[in-house]
Structure 1
Amino acid sequence: MPGLERRWAPVCAVAFTPYAALTAPLPVAVAVATRQWWAAAVAGVALAGLVAAVAPRAIPSPDGGTGPVLRVLTANLMHGECDPDALVSLVRDHAVDLLALQEYTLRADGKLRAAGLGELLPYRSAEPRPRGNGSALYSRYPLDAQECRINAGGHRNARASVEVPGAAALHAESVHPASLYHPHKLPAWHAGLAGLPAAGPDGPVRLLLGDFNATLDHARLRALLRTGYRDAASVAGRGLVPTWPYRNYGPIPRVTLDHVLADRRVRVRAVAVYPIPGSDHRAVFAELILPTPG
């Protein structure tokens, strides 16, 4: 699979792997009906591989246990054009503690402040930028070590340490590598995903949340997961719920580009996906249980 991702068209096609799994029984059935046994065997192996890769994302296995709870939400604002009142209502209704925003503009900054976001989440690390390049983290808890990663192609990733009471040190990042709307963006897409920090048993607990412009079928994202992350939606059995596109972009099947990736030390209690009026993405909410110090 990594070899497929050297060119733009195969990278885009990989995003639709769940649809291939959905239609994979058809070649098996046709081959069996026409007594093409070798073809049936080959199609059956392909079917088994696709199901093994895709089906576990829809099987819930939420974690138990107790500890400091962190409720997080990530939302792509579509160049700052999402409905600020709807987003703030979602934050309020779900008692969100940490909010990651992508495509965060100066206009969105003003609208969200006017809608009362700062009253709910008073701490922030924000880099508003035009043309969808901005990023922000809003938090109920104090933020420290605030930085901004500038990805190839210009998208920002706001990042900071979050001081959650009773929890181990936590580092969060609002993720937004380059999108693949044109072939010339492929190197920037690769660089943006490759630049994300690995997770491991030592150091701060890590949380990556945002619009990754990649699905779990992309080798780049799977390599990141292997460093020590889990996809929260897959743990909760919601890994096949699509998050883009929710605008009329033509006959593009919907795919899952928005994720909450949590360090393996973090337990996942629940995940849900919500519409945000004015945005072409769905927002992803996750309720997490953080490890305690030591």
Structure 2
Amino acid sequence: MVDALTFLTLFLVIVTLLPLWRHPHWLVRGWDFPRLQLAVFALFVLMANVFAHAHWLAIVACFVCLGWQLWWILPYTRLWRLEVKTAKGQDSQRRLRIITANVLTPNRQANKLITLVHQFQADVLVTLESDDWWQSQLETLETQLPYTMKCPLDNLYGMHVYARFPLEDTSVEFLIEDDVPSMHALLVLPCGEKIRMHFLHPAPPSPTENPASAERDAELILVARSVSDSAQPIIVTGDLNDVAWSSTTRLFRKISGLLDPRVGRGMFNTFHADYPFLRWPLDHIFHSHHFRLRQIQRLPSIGSDHFALFTELYLEPSAAQKENGLQAEAEDDAWAEEIIQEQNVSDEKVPRPGQ
């Protein structure tokens, strides 16, 4: 019993400390993902050590690990202060409803997604992993969402955007990897305001895809730096293959200055749809301080390994109001520069619609 508890305690300490090392290998970065599960595990090991009258060092180690995991995930609970205030405006011409959906290429239940688009009256649908088959199935939406961007691929990185409102300065780019696209556009609301939009789906760090997170991190930081000095209303959404509470997503938020409407509201875990005890937030939406939130929710299953995410934002008439976002420090800027330099890329490569 004592040997088993010692092993579990040592394992807990190792997987808690590993993400502090900024090495991009998936065996390191992967421990950013299950922080909720690790918090539950830490609580279990802590209680077991207490009941077994283990050495006080083991008890303290478990307590510190539990506190550390909670520090990362508590902002994504209702215990935290809202980062984005709730919208009170009623002007329908300033409202934007977005569905972000990783459809899973071999999934053949397109009817479920189409039904949700109609049910929630989406103004923008962005699909990830969509190929030619998905493109043919979604053509029926073009009567309601006539403005489109299409990049069907059969490598799990196809992407489509369908919009109710006009899209200007549209561009499909391959910012880091030659087979991983991103989309960029200026969306024109009925009120005449224009929103700069970036749709992303970088490759994850994993043994079956990229062994390291370097490419993913570089794409996120490229976009973050490109929007950081813009006064435009901005939205970034997609499957970022990174959890909301990771150090790299926090770095993205600090460098970009964008806000996360989930903070203070919930985790909205979108992956994995088939395993309730192994879920985390992989599908994201971030926006500039020009917006308030009307609603955000995880949608019912569409047959994919991801749930779709529905977000309704409201563009405030005045952009003067600031929210409670993260602030970048000198260390963050240095880390971002290191990530960019490693891939030998420049944020000048990112399109800046409307500029």
Given the two structures, how large is their TM-score scaled by the length of structure 1?
Answer: 0.87
**1:127 and 2:151 aligned:** yes
Structure 1 distance, partners of 2:157, 2:47, is 47
RMSD over aligned CA atoms reads: 2.5
* Alignment map for 1:59-74 (pairs within 5 Å): 59=78, 61=82, 62-66=85-89, 68-74=94-100
**1:261 and 2:286 aligned:** yes
**Residue deviations 1:16-45, cap 9 Å, x none?**
111111222233323433163343333323
> Which of residues 33, 39, 45 is equivalent to 1:15?
33
- Structure 2: which amino acid aligns with 1:39? A
Hey, what does 2:248 align to over in structure 1? 220
Hey, what does 1:243 align to over in structure 2? 270
Distance change (3 Å), C-alpha of 1:253 and 1:158: same
Shift of 1:261: 1.4
- Structure 2: which amino acid aligns with 1:44? F
> Which of residues 107, 119, 123 is equivalent to 1:81?
107
Hey, what does 1:231 align to over in structure 2? 260
- Structure 1: which amino acid aligns with 2:317? T
**1:195 and 2:222 aligned:** yes
> Which of residues 82, 91, 95 is equivalent to 2:121?
95
**1:283 and 2:308 aligned:** yes
Native 8 Å contact 1:125 1:160 kept in 2: no
**Residue deviations 1:168-223, cap 9 Å, x none?**
43111221001233276123323332332344473322111111111023222111
Hey, what does 2:43 align to over in structure 1? 25
- What SS class does the counterpart of residue 282 from structure 1 fall into? coil
- Structure 2: which amino acid aligns with 1:231? D
Distance change (3 Å), C-alpha of 1:264 and 1:200: farther
For structure 2, the residue ranges without an aligned partner over 5 or more in a row are 1-18, 320-355
Native 8 Å contact 1:141 1:162 kept in 2: yes
For structure 1, the residue ranges without an aligned partner over 5 or more in a row are none
**1:58 and 2:77 aligned:** yes
Structure 2 distance, partners of 1:201, 1:166, is 24
Shift of 1:57: 0.5
Native 8 Å contact 1:146 1:161 kept in 2: yes
- Structure 2: which amino acid aligns with 1:138? Y
Hey, what does 1:182 align to over in structure 2? 207
Distance change (3 Å), C-alpha of 1:5 and 1:230: farther
- How many residues are matched? 288
Higher Cα radius of gyration:
2
Native 8 Å contact 1:79 1:130 kept in 2: yes
Hey, what does 1:141 align to over in structure 2? 165
